[in-house]
Structure 1
Amino acid sequence: MDAPASLPPSSHPAGSLRELLAVAVPLALSTGSVSVAQVADRAFLARYDPAALAASMPAGMLQWAVLSPFLGVGMTVGTFVAQNAAAGHPGRAAAAVWQGVWAAVAAALCFAALVPLAGPLFEFAGHGPEVTRAEVSYFQTLCWGALPTAASFALSGFYAGRGRTSVVMAVNFAAALTNVGLDWLLIFGARLPGGIEVPAYGIAGAGAATALSFVVACGLYFFAMTRGAGRAIRIYHYARFDPAMMRRLLRTGLPTGLNMAADVAALTVFLFLVGRLGRNELAASTLAFNLNSLCFLPAIGLGHASTILVGHRIGEGRPHVAIRTGWLATAVGVAGMAVSGAIFVFAPGPLIDLYVGDGSSFTAGELAALWATAPALLKFVAAYSVFDVFAVVLGGAVRGAGDTVFPAVWTMFCAWGLMVVPTFWGVLGGETFGLPALGGGEWTGRDGVWWAWACCTAYIVAVGFGMTARYVGGKWRGMSVLEGDRQPEARAEAG
């Protein structure tokens, strides 16, 4: 049986390292299972066709960018659940979960309209006919998974927001295993027992595997909510559309979604620009970003834990305890990234081998280009990763209180001002903006990639500094997403 909705997120002392790890470790493993599935996607595709590997990142990032506003609403469900559960309002927490699901329905309608536009969109990117065909196929397949993807984020908030992160971990493990198994089956094809022949769908099979894994996740959450706390508070009773709660959720969640969208959209444009430098440069960047996402899992788990624990402390009226949690999570994350950064710098070979395998799917030129570029890109990752910890963990902490507007605005400014525009200038030339060329637009191949990744590093460093300043400023301590006035204790501390 699950615990009642109003219990604290763990049995450990509030603000302690043990409490942080009790919530963060399952979330890190949960996120890790999803990232492992994504890495498996890319690794399988690299062995199927290098063009599919190059196409998977831009197409996947575009889908994620468009989906981000809906995912931001879904992620904010956890904040609403945390604060309402801590304040003794489990019914309002349940209502927030279902409004997240209704937002996922809107996401499905949006993506259905995008399917016929995929062709012109990727042709405009100019990545070459082979890569473009793969991008269109992958993106269109992912579009049909928008509903279960967004809904799973909202449904997970019912458990994550109450600190029951082991449930989220179990569901994500099951979804990741489904994704990896279907990847192997649908990308390469197979003959199943009974003489059933499954064709090789290539990159479309990878997209279908991802979409179906989120269907599995939603099914498991729906089943889990018929038991424990879900049954105790009659969670299905709150499934109706609630305009007032939806407005509150959108007011807090849309800035988070726009934050994600600004980040992901900027990285998508960044990859589109890198793709104009050449297929080999795009493949190396895809590989580096995927390894980055895999090794960054502990920090992501810590960021999610900070959101949950800060939200719970705000709901209790004890924001002073949340301050300690934020710094503790940051210290743990920095220590972890120092280790992975050292591996990226001094031993990148075994990581790259995960994608290359025996090299049979690459030409000699492609293989040489990958080994010449990817290790250097991983050094950029090592350089910005510590600052990324501050951005993710402390940004998650202030969002747990409901402070979502500043992170969105600052991320958008840094992403486009420090990464996209300078990269655009370097790849296509300053004349586009009415500026002197000054060498811009003349960089090709690896020279262009070094410039692009330097811009990416500047962006992440700036976001890290901004989130740290916001956290230290302390304005978030007086915020809340609870209905009615703020907690008097929180208001007094903030003042």
Structure 2
Amino acid sequence: MDASAVISIEASDRKKLRKNVIQIAWPAVTELILISLFGAIDMIMVGRLGAAAITSVGLVNQPIFLIMAVFQALNIGGAAVVSRGIGSKKYSDANSATRHLIIITGMLSIVIIFPAIFTVAGIYRFMGAEYEVISIGLNYFKIVLVSVIFQNIALSIASVLRASGDTKTPMIINVVSNIINVLMNYLLIFGRMGLPELGVTGAGIGTFLSRVLAFVLLTYLLCSSKGDIKLKLKEIFHWDIKTIKKIVRIGMPSAMEQFVLRSGNLIFVRVVSGLGTAVYAAHQISVSVLSLSFTSGMAFGMAASTLIGQSLGAEKRTLAEEYGKETRHLGSIIATIIGVIFFIFSKQIAGLFSNDIEVIQNTSGVLKVIALIQPFQSSQLILAGALRGAGDTKWPLYSTIAGIWGIRITVAYVLVVGFKLGLMGAWLGICVDQILRYFILFWRFKGGHWKYVKI
């Protein structure tokens, strides 16, 4: 089987290979860049309310990411099954995986989210928030939690569409919903056009409305689709235990990976929040900027996952490997350019988010660290996406355990608490973490065992 794939690769034009990668990746790159920009704009608006407001919003992210870990894992499992189904032209399998993924995501979201709503104050206290931060963010936290139910289902639909090769539809929907988010945030945070001035709570309402919109549009488009992937509502509760087991089996290592990542970040944030509200505000701004630098790695990782999954479904292993190499090459080039921009304009970027001198100085230093890790960060994200697309989800888990718990938390704690290096010490821990994960995943990808994983 693999010999025919070799012939196919030799006969094909390298430009055609790159064209296929770019065709899948560019909508995802555009989508993630715009979403990150919109997120940065949101943080800029919240930043005008003061350091306590930034912190109240920032502290919400980590526990929500932890809650969402199981759903991200299900998406990875579902997407792997869908891409293999598309590649092998078994469209009924792909549609069955889509149906099961959406209904499981919806039911689990309701079960997990609603109990969490009644514990938001306790979560804030666990994260080390001061009284002012809790009082400002309490309603925001509750509103955003409810919106996560709609967001989870929308993310599931988007993941199967990307797995089928359709990256444009999720891009358009997410860009539109984020434009609505920014607009509503502006109107409700500052009380424009006759609407009440709600501050941080207004930001929560804007987020809720945008996520509901994305959910409605993606559900409608999937139900009315004329493509290979379509959701038939009359079959929504038709269960196939084999499909469920397949999604869970592939997604379980990713669930553990996400749990390790998010729980580790919770402890990491707990260390940073102990440095004070102003320092944590700088940290949160740095995280917002970091999300911009994730875009190329995540987008090309999505492309690698889709193209490798479809290639392996068609039993073209050599083609799958070539797609992995090409996505990493292109993603690294873009990441390096982003790093240069962050390094040169670190102070100017920090000044967009806050006019507090201490916050700007701390953020500017961190952005230089972020700039230096760009090629490693991008490559590890792409290689992880490639392995997940092949169904080899255990090694991204192993790399995350080694990076987050072995390096990030340990180094951050030693440098922040032991050597008193403050925020810079914490981010040096992130830097070493990203480099270690890159080498682990590169070694696994180069070994080639992922090409023979059975789904």
For the residues of structure 1 that align with 2:16 and 2:254, how far apart are their CA atoms?
25
**Residue range with higher mean Cα deviation, 17-26 or 224-233:** 224-233
Task: Determine if the alignment matches structure 1 residue 19 to structure 2 residue 20.
Answer: yes
- What's the CA shift string for 1:419-449, capped at 9, x where partnerless? 1133334545xxxxxxxxxxx2x72xxx221
**1:275 maps to amino acid:** S
**Residue range with higher mean Cα deviation, 342-351 or 331-340:** 342-351
1:258 to 256, 267, 282: 256
For the residues of structure 2 that align with 1:157 and 1:166, how far apart are their CA atoms?
12
Task: Determine if the alignment matches structure 1 residue 405 to structure 2 residue 394.
Answer: yes
Q: Displacement, 1:310?
A: 0.5
| Native 8 Å contact 2:100 2:244 kept in 1 | yes
| Native 8 Å contact 1:315 1:480 kept in 2 | no
Q: Displacement, 1:266?
A: 2.0
For the residues of structure 2 that align with 1:56 and 1:239, how far apart are their CA atoms?
36
Aligned to 1:118: 120
> 5 Å matches for 1:37-436?
37-104=38-105, 105-192=107-194, 198-229=195-226, 235-240=232-237, 241-356=239-354, 359=355, 367-427=356-416
| Native 8 Å contact 1:75 1:154 kept in 2 | no
2:428 to 454, 472, 475: 454
**Residue range with higher mean Cα deviation, 225-234 or 410-419:** 225-234
Aligned to 1:485: none
Change (3 A) 1:230 1:200: farther
Structure 1 unaligned residues grouped into runs of 5+: 1-10, 193-197, 360-366, 429-439, 482-495
| Greater helix share, structure number | 2
Q: Displacement, 1:58?
A: 2.1
For the residues of structure 2 that align with 1:457 and 1:303, how far apart are their CA atoms?
20
**1:354 maps to amino acid:** L
**1:68 maps to amino acid:** A
For the residues of structure 1 that align with 2:99 and 2:375, how far apart are their CA atoms?
36
Structure 2 unaligned residues grouped into runs of 5+: 1-11
- What's the CA shift string for 1:213-233, capped at 9, x where partnerless? 221112111221233435986
For the residues of structure 2 that align with 1:61 and 1:100, how far apart are their CA atoms?
24
Change (3 A) 1:226 1:383: same
Task: Determine if the alignment matches structure 1 residue 477 to structure 2 residue 448.
Answer: no
For the residues of structure 1 that align with 2:396 and 2:372, how far apart are their CA atoms?
22
**1:320 maps to amino acid:** T
| Native 8 Å contact 1:126 1:276 kept in 2 | yes
1:190 aligns to what SS in structure 2? coil
For the residues of structure 2 that align with 1:233 and 1:217, how far apart are their CA atoms?
17
| Native 8 Å contact 1:95 1:239 kept in 2 | no
For the residues of structure 1 that align with 2:230 and 2:128, how far apart are their CA atoms?
53
1:48 aligns to what SS in structure 2? coil
- What's the CA shift string for 1:81-106, capped at 9, x where partnerless? 11101112112111211222223220
1:467 to 436, 441, 447: 441
For the residues of structure 2 that align with 1:75 and 1:179, how far apart are their CA atoms?
26
Change (3 A) 1:387 1:248: same
For the residues of structure 2 that align with 1:75 and 1:186, how far apart are their CA atoms?
35
- What's the CA shift string for 1:42-67, capped at 9, x where partnerless? 11100123211122222112211221
**1:95 maps to amino acid:** S
| Native 8 Å contact 1:270 1:423 kept in 2 | yes
| Native 8 Å contact 1:41 1:180 kept in 2 | yes
| Native 8 Å contact 2:383 2:445 kept in 1 | yes
Identity of aligned residues (%): 21
For the residues of structure 1 that align with 2:329 and 2:437, how far apart are their CA atoms?
17
For the residues of structure 2 that align with 1:254 and 1:270, how far apart are their CA atoms?
24
Q: Displacement, 1:379?
A: 1.1
| Native 8 Å contact 1:23 1:305 kept in 2 | yes
For the residues of structure 2 that align with 1:274 and 1:234, how far apart are their CA atoms?
44
| Native 8 Å contact 1:388 1:461 kept in 2 | yes
For the residues of structure 2 that align with 1:208 and 1:130, how far apart are their CA atoms?
20
For the residues of structure 2 that align with 1:210 and 1:480, how far apart are their CA atoms?
40
- What's the CA shift string for 1:177-232, capped at 9, x where partnerless? 1211121122222344xxxxx32222222223223222111211122123343598
Q: Displacement, 1:146?
A: 2.1
